[in-house]
Each structure stands twice: as structure tokens, then as C-alpha cells.
């Protein structure tokens, strides 16, 4: 299981030291997913936004954030894949998220 974490507890106080924009590691995430899957390890990607992961991860992508703490950024309103996307933890909306968030189109491949 590869999981994006929620900004809670001491994370907020140490955000500058801990934050890595998911757009920066999306290729590494793809490689990790394929390495695990190719070795027969049950693989899932949790708590990420669809527009910040490569399409080759879709098979392992899981919409996993609980409804009661799940939100979407204003940019997400026109996204054609919003219903498939995990969205954000409420804390991310409050404390910050990737500037690379963008609405996807049905025909979008990236």
C-alpha cells in the first residue's frame, strides 16, 4: 500500500521540512507501483489526487479518503474524473496542496 498522508498533529508545524508536492514524485510512484505489482505484491495507491498521478497507476488507484473528511479544491469542480478521484483530506484544503491540481477531461491521458 502506497499512501499519501494527512496533515495532522506535528506535521503542520513541520510542513516546510515534510511537504513534498506529489507532482514531484509521480514518476517514482509509478515505478514503485510497477515494481511491487510485477513481483506479485498486492498494490494499492491511496490518498492521492488523480491529476497528480500518472495514468499507468489507474489500475491500482483507490478512492480512499472517508466521506466525512474528504473535500475537493475549487479547481476540481469542472473535472470529468472528480467522482473517481480521492480528493483531499479536509486539512489539505486548509493548510495547502499542490499548485499542479488541474481538472481532467474524459479524453485526458496525463
pLDDT confidence of residue 3 = 84
**CA 55 to CA 9: how far, in whole Å?**
32
99: helix, strand or coil: coil
Would you say residue 76 has pLDDT above 80? Answer: yes
pLDDT confidence of residue 18 = 85
Would you say residue 107 has pLDDT above 70? Answer: no
Mean predicted confidence (pLDDT) in 56-73: 92
Please give the full DSSP string across 73-91, using - where no structure is assigned. Answer: -GGGGG-TTGGGS--EEHH
Amino acid at each position: 500500500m502506497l499512501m499519501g498522508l494527512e496533515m495532522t498533529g506535528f506535521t503542520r508545524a513541520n510542513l516546510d521540512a515534510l511537504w513534498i508536492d506529489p507532482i514531484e514524485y509521480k514518476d517514482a510512484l509509478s515505478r514503485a507501483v510497477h515494481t511491487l505489482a510485477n513481483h506479485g505484491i498486492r498494490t494499492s495507491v491511496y490518498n492521492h489526487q488523480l491529476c497528480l498521478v500518472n495514468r499507468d497507476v489507474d489500475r491500482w488507484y483507490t478512492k480512499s479518503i472517508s466521506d466525512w473528511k474528504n473535500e475537493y479544491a475549487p479547481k476540481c469542480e469542472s473535472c470529468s474524473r472528480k467522482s473517481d478521484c480521492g480528493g483531499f483530506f479536509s486539512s489539505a484544503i486548509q493548510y495547502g496542496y499542490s499548485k499542479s491540481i488541474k481538472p481532467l477531461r474524459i479524453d485526458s491521458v496525463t
